[in-house]
Amino acid sequence: MEKIYKLNDRVIMKKQHACGTNLWEIIRNGVDIKLKCIHCGREIMIDRLEFEKKLKKVVGGYDEEEKS
């Protein structure tokens, strides 16, 4: 069963980015996943298999935080 990731989901990756955070936001979803660093705004694109290997945890979506 394939995991479903939604746009604007916030994810924590296993390794930190060069700016010092490991919190990212999903801004494109498909065969490749595009991530945006929450701290510095850098955008990267990685394939889904690599993303799933490097993923530590899905924190939740931006929309959920707005409602609380």
Per-domain boundaries in the chain: 9-67
Round to whole Å and give the CA distance between 38 and 65. Answer: 14
Residues in the chain: 68
4-49 confidence digits (pLDDT tens): 889 999 999 999 999 999 999 999 998 999 999 999 999 999 999 9
pTM tops 0.85:
no
